Structures are given as structure tokens and as C-alpha cells.
Amino acid sequence: MKPIFNVRGEGAFAFIMGIISGYPMGAKIATNFRKNNICTKEECERLLSFTNNSGPLFIIGTVGILMFGSTTIGLLLFITHILACISVGIIFRFWKINYSPTLSSTSHYANKKYYVSFSNLGEVLANSITSSISTILLIGGFVVIFSSIISILKSSGFINILSTCFFPLFNFINIDTSFINPLICGFFEITNGINSISSIACKKLSINIILTSFLLGFGGISVLLQVLSITSKTDLSIKPYLYGKILQGILASVYTYIFINTIPFFNFDI
């Protein structure tokens, strides 16, 4: 972790769990590191930039199999998602590199070590279950709220008005304008946006896949607010997360484009 991402070895836990568990586990672990004074503020902000990712269950299972009807597409999206995540981590190793990375025992975040024993096992399990349920409810609540917001914006015609602003750009890059509305929806909440993109009939399926790859990397405003609700309890800045997710979305779509055009196995165009 240190030579590649410029964070101490404990950051490997946030990196691995962020890949396995999906949003917003990486951000939650990085925030806990800061609360417990395990990593410095700069290291936790570097972790925020690349450890909060979509999980394999969502990308391969939900997006690949259920939405696109293809395990191969899900695998392609997952591979490029992880490559983009690692690339962002390498780039953000230089985040606040001139700051002195020191842990202070006088920090207002307690430097505590927790030991699990038979006497406190029940308490540890209870706290773990409570934290897990709280996180699940947080994610579900944000999805419901943003699904409602998207429905209101669609019914009011706001999304249609906003989409007309992007017509010249999409015509210029030769992409069907029917993708604009789903992209705007995905900007707010990725599940609804990706579901709409996957249902658009297009001879060049690669366009659907590349746009989906961008949304998976970016995460959407819904996930951004989930992370903000977690990090707001600490002194961590949300800026590295926001910059990192925009960059990850761009890199993921670029990697997907390269894979599709260089590896025939991943080319689904008719």
C-alpha cells in the first residue's frame, strides 16, 4: 500500500472491503480509520478517493446478468471498474504529499485499540449488527429518496428540458440522443440510470456498456451524499472523493472502450 498508494498497510483493509462489499463500505472504513486515529487525515482522504466502489455482486449480478443479460458484460465492467479504481489510487498518492503524515496522540480523535475477548464478544457482535443495519437502511433510504426525486423531475418535464441542452454535444460525438435522459437519471442515482441505459436498443451495444461503465465509476449524487453523511462526523474533506469518482468514471469508460476495441471477446456490437 505504501509504495503504490502512499498510505500505510492498514489501508489494505479499506481497499479490499471496498471492492468486495460495494458502496459505501470503503468510505465507512476510511472514516473509522480517522476516528480511531489509525491513519492520518491525508491518508484517509487518499483512501476516500479510490476505496469506495461498486461491488461484484451489483456489477456482475445486477448490472451484467439482470440488466444486460450477460455475465461477460458484467465481468468486463467489473474488470475496468477495478482498473480505474487502482489508477485513481495511484494518481491520488500525491494528494497533499507535502503535508507531514504524522499521527498525534493529542488529536481530538481517540487513539484506541479494541480487543475482542469472550467477556465483550456479545457487545462487539451487537455493535457490528447495529452498524450493519444502520448502513443498509442508509443506502436503501437514499435510493428511495432519489428514485422519488427522479420521478418528480421526469413528471415535471425538467429532465426533458435539461436533455435538450446536450443534444448538440451528443450529435457531435455521434451518440444517440436517447441516452441523454438515462445519463441524467444516472447522475442522480446509478441504479435507475443504468437500468434505463441497458434497456435502450442499439446496434452498437458498446455505447450502452461504456456509458454504464462511466456511471458505475462515478457513483452518482446519491452515493456522494451517502459518503458525505458518513465523513461529516470527522474532519475529512469530501473533495478527494468527488474528484476521484469523476476521474474514475472517465478512466473506467476509457478502459472499457479499449477492451471492447482491442479484445474481440468483449465486442458485442452487431
Residue 108's pLDDT band, with cuts at 50, 70 and 90, is: very low
- Please determine, for residue 3, whether its predicted confidence score (pLDDT) is greater than 70: yes
- pTM of the predicted structure, to 2 decimals: 0.85
Residue 113's pLDDT band, with cuts at 50, 70 and 90, is: low
pLDDT tens for residues 120-134?
Answer: 777 778 888 887 888
Mean pLDDT, rounded, of the chain: 86
- The position carrying cell 460525438 is 173
Residues 6+ apart with CB under 8 A from 4: 89, 90, 93
pLDDT of 87 = 95
* Portion of the chain with pLDDT greater than 90, in percent: 36
pLDDT of 97 = 75
Cα separation, 212 vs 217, whole angstroms: 9
Average pLDDT on 175-186 reads 88
Domain boundaries, the chain: 2-98+132-266
Query: 81 with 217: CB under 8 angstroms?
Result: yes
Average pLDDT on 244-269 reads 89
Query: 56 with 20: CB under 8 angstroms?
Result: yes
Residue 107's pLDDT band, with cuts at 50, 70 and 90, is: very low
